[in-house]
Amino acid sequence: MPRFAGTVVTTFLGLLAVTFFIGRVIPIDPVLAIVGDRAPAHLVERVREELGLNLPLWHQFLLYLKQVLSGDFGVSVLSSNPVMEDIRRVFPATLELATLGTLIGAVFGIPLGVLAAVRRGSLVDQVVRVIGLIGYSVPVFWLALLSLLFFYAKLNWVAYPGRIDVVYEYTFTPITGLFMLDAIIQRQWDVLWDLFRHIILPASLLGYFSLAYISRMTRSFMLNELAQEYIVAARAKGLSETRIIWFHALRNAAVPLLTVIALSYAGLLEGSVLTETIFAWPGIGLYITNSLQNADINAVLGGTIVIGAVFITINLLSDLLYRTLDPRTRRR
């Protein structure tokens, strides 16, 4: 446990150090972003002193560390709100999109991976591997634009980009920030259907890329399990192939597979910048993109820290889960 705590602290300090130096390296003056490039020199110097940018670099880092650990990421130049307040507002949208995308990837990716492993070398195996290869190689922006053209512009099966129709935007009252959950709580089924029509296409797109990763890893894990001696023993006992595959091999493969799904989920929670931008999805990825385009350094660094913290947390939790479910990985 002390080693685990040390790993968490070291990783997070490394994240803070990287974001701090990125904020100092990029060619954007945070003072000019606040006061404007036509502000008088005395005002620029005063703001620079108030922000502590005239201090030595090590002193600036200590102040930055104290500020971040207290939950203060500064004020957004773009929205004039505290950055943490903006992140609390936009992160539920990313959480909702990433959760649905991961569910789609897991529900379809695991059976496809199992099927490919069971029928190794067959046409089914080749098709599943090609599906995964396309998911790895096709640019996300190209597939997103193509899906919008086909499913929205041509077939009109889904709603236009955005999270909710303007008809409901000012009449729907969010509770948790997870709009679909809020619509269910309030029993607003028309709003729920509208939300589903907006989220299904970007979530399916992210789910497809998640499926490519999960199906590939499932196939690998299952091939390893199917080659084990306990599978031979189970067949010798006369157990059905279905029971051997789904109740014995998959159960043992599920332990590392949980880690794979967790990491896939963490990757989507980072904020799929291109997907959120193309689909005008108001999540943290779009928030950071808009902030970067408007030289809003506080918002960019704050969003980066939150994304990094989420990824670190899920990564460490998946590692703990792996150690808990598989005693062989525990250190004596």
Is 129 in the same domain as 265? Answer: yes
Mean predicted confidence (pLDDT) in 171-175: 88
The percentage of residues in the chain with a pLDDT greater than 70, rounded to a whole number, is 92
Give pLDDT, residue 102.
Answer: 93
Is 119 in the same domain as 62? Answer: no
Name the DSSP class of 328. G
Give pLDDT, residue 328.
Answer: 61
Is 62 in the same domain as 96? Answer: no
Is 133 in the same domain as 164? Answer: yes
Is 132 in the same domain as 183? Answer: yes
* Closest of 73, 76, 56 to residue 64, by C-alpha: 73
Report if residue 75 sits inside a domain.
Answer: no
pLDDT digits (tens, 9 = 90+) for 98-119: 999 999 999 999 999 999 999 8
Is 63 in the same domain as 110? Answer: no
Number of structural domains in the chain: 2
Give pLDDT, residue 218.
Answer: 93
Q: Which of 46, 69, 92 is the last residue of a domain?
A: 69
Report if residue 134 sits inside a domain.
Answer: yes
Q: Which of 19, 46, 69 is the last residue of a domain?
A: 69
Give pLDDT, residue 220.
Answer: 92
β partners of residue 49: none
Report if residue 165 sits inside a domain.
Answer: yes
Report if residue 266 sits inside a domain.
Answer: yes
Mean predicted confidence (pLDDT) in 264-278: 82
Of residues 75 and 99, more confidently modeled? 99
Check: CB of residue 101 under 8 Å from CB of residue 210: yes
Q: Which of 57-61, 89-93, 197-201 has the lowest mean pLDDT?
A: 57-61
Enclosing domain of residue 8? 2-69
Give pLDDT, residue 327.
Answer: 62
Give pLDDT, residue 39.
Answer: 73
Q: Which of 47, 69, 91 is the last residue of a domain?
A: 69
Is 40 in the same domain as 123? Answer: no
Q: Which of 78-92, 205-219, 303-317 has the lowest mean pLDDT?
A: 303-317
Is 267 in the same domain as 150? Answer: yes
DSSP labels for 107-126?
HHHHHHHHHHHHTTTSHHHH
Report if residue 193 sits inside a domain.
Answer: yes
Is 102 in the same domain as 36? Answer: no
Is 55 in the same domain as 104? Answer: no
As given in the structure block, the two tokens for residue 77 are 């130049």
Is 278 in the same domain as 206? Answer: yes
Could you tell me the pLDDT band of residue 272, with boundaries at 50, 70 and 90?
confident
β partners of residue 82: 75
Spatial CB neighbours of 238, under 8 Å, sequence gap ≥ 6 = none
* Closest of 284, 315, 312 to residue 300, by C-alpha: 284
Is pLDDT at 332 greater than 50 in this prediction? no
Is pLDDT at 19 greater than 50 in this prediction? yes
Report if residue 78 sits inside a domain.
Answer: no
Residues in the chain: 332
Report if residue 54 sits inside a domain.
Answer: yes
Is 52 in the same domain as 166? Answer: no
Q: What is the pTM (predicted TM-score) of this model?
A: 0.84
The CATH number of whichever domain residue 311 belongs to comes to: 1.10.3720.10
Report if residue 74 sits inside a domain.
Answer: no
Classify burial at 3, counting beta carbons within 10 Å of its beta carbon; exposed 0-12, middle 13-18, buried 19 or more: exposed
Name the DSSP class of 295. T
Give pLDDT, residue 23.
Answer: 72
| Integer angstrom CA distances of residue 311 from 105, 203, 248, 314 | 18, 19, 31, 5
Q: Report the chain's terminal Cα–Cα distance, integer Å.
A: 13
Location of structure tokens 């967790």:
262
In terms of phi and psi (left: phi > 0; alpha: psi -120 to 50; beta: otherwise), the region of 283 is beta
